[in-house]
Amino acid sequence: MTGTSIAGWGTSLPDKIVTNFDLEKILDTNNDWIVERTGIRERRLGGTTESLATAATIKALKTADLDLDSYGGLILATTTPDKTTPGTSALIHKNLGISGFAFDINAACAGFIYSFVVAHQMVKSLNQPIVVVGADTLSRITDMTDRSTAILLADGAGALVIAPSNEEDCLLGYDLQVDGNLEDILYCDLGGYLKMNGKEVFKRAIRAAEKSTNKVVEEAGYSMSDIDLLVPHQANKRIMDALSERLGIPAQKCASVIERTGNTSSASVPLALIDSIESDSLKPGSLILMTGFGAGMTWGSALVRWQ
């Protein structure tokens, strides 16, 4: 087998739904403002990164239906590990009973794109399937008295299995970037809460995602009109709309779950992608353009063929 494909997928969200109306009761905010400025109506809060990631990953393993001993390993994208050490990936790996390695990647909201690219390259070199899961419990680093972040941040997990296949490679191109000079616009000190300069992140996110997606699509020899599905980080609907407009990709080709999930950081891209997979929006050969940005500032994009 010389190529690769996405062979399995699964998601998990906490049971507890927190609506904008619930937040109105504890914060100086209101449903209309949140919907208009962010596109979010409700979000899910609760659980641990291990529990959410394990539940999503069990579903992904089931869809892939591969021998558990055949796995090369597991990569967890997370900004909110449950412990400083061991890595949360080790605990998920134990829960699954698969073979191979496990490690965490922290690249904030670009973490799933980073992890997908690393996992894909390892599938190629090992010729074994690898699980890649994005999971975050941002509610544990959210100051619920800070309306600038409490309305946005939430919890969830989304997992894929990338496996060797007889098709061409599913990853057609990628771009991964970081600028540590921008640490101050979005950060969380150890034991603290996430702090964000929303306006600065907003502006930079659109510019970075536009440049990065254009680079990936051009270098792979395609144009934006070839893209069947844009899967942007679900940070703010206005960022997603501005990006799809600048790229000339119609809104109906832009995967969106933010209305009911909020911003789940490393989980947001897989949650949106898997929502499209499960609603049969993709056909064999469909071109998927994933893009994410987050604290670091990190950003990255990946062009993927659905097989």
In the set 106, 109, 170, 188, the catalytic residue is: 109
Structure tokens at 48: 């641990």
Which residues of the shown chain bind ligand ACO in the complex (CB under 6 A)? 29, 33, 37-38, 109, 138, 147-148, 151, 186, 196, 198-199, 201-202, 205, 235-236, 239, 263, 265, 294
Quote the least distance from Cβ 29 to ligand ACO, whole Å: 3
Quote the least distance from Cβ 34 to ligand ACO, whole Å: 6
The conformation of residue 297, written as its DSSP 8-state character, comes to: T
263 in catalytic set: yes
Quote the least distance from Cβ 203 to ligand ACO, whole Å: 9
- Residues 6 or more apart from 182 whose CB is under 8 A from it? 204, 296, 297
Q: Considering the complex, state which of residue 147 and residue 246 has its C-beta at the smaller distance from ligand ACO.
A: 147
Q: Considering the complex, state which of residue 186 and residue 287 has its C-beta at the smaller distance from ligand ACO.
A: 186
Chain position whose Cβ is nearest to ligand ACO = 198
Q: Considering the complex, state which of residue 12 and residue 80 has its C-beta at the smaller distance from ligand ACO.
A: 80
149/133 Cα distance (integer angstroms): 24
In the set 106, 120, 233, 254, the catalytic residue is: 233
What is the radius of gyration, based on Cα positions, of the chain?
18
Q: Considering the complex, state which of residue 29 and residue 177 has its C-beta at the smaller distance from ligand ACO.
A: 29
Quote the least distance from Cβ 86 to ligand ACO, whole Å: 23
Quick one: how far is CA 8 from the chain centroid?
16
Residue 249 amino acid letter: I
Residue 45 amino acid letter: L
Structure tokens at 79: 């900004």
Quick one: how far is CA 183 from the chain centroid?
20
Quote the least distance from Cβ 65 to ligand ACO, whole Å: 33
Q: Considering the complex, state which of residue 132 and residue 269 has its C-beta at the smaller distance from ligand ACO.
A: 269
- Residues 6 or more apart from 79 whose CB is under 8 A from it? 106, 108, 109, 111, 136, 138, 141, 188, 265, 266, 294, 295
254 in catalytic set: no
What burial class does residue 298 get, using C-beta atoms within 10 Å of its C-beta: 0-12 exposed, 13-18 middle, 19+ buried?
Answer: buried
Helix/strand/coil for 15: coil
Quote the least distance from Cβ 121 to ligand ACO, whole Å: 25
Q: Considering the complex, state which of residue 72 and residue 134 has its C-beta at the smaller distance from ligand ACO.
A: 134
201/207 Cα distance (integer angstroms): 10
Phi, psi (deg, nearest 5) at residue 255: -65, 130
In the set 20, 106, 236, 263, the catalytic residue is: 263
109 in catalytic set: yes
**Could you give the residue numbers annotated as active site?**
109, 233, 263
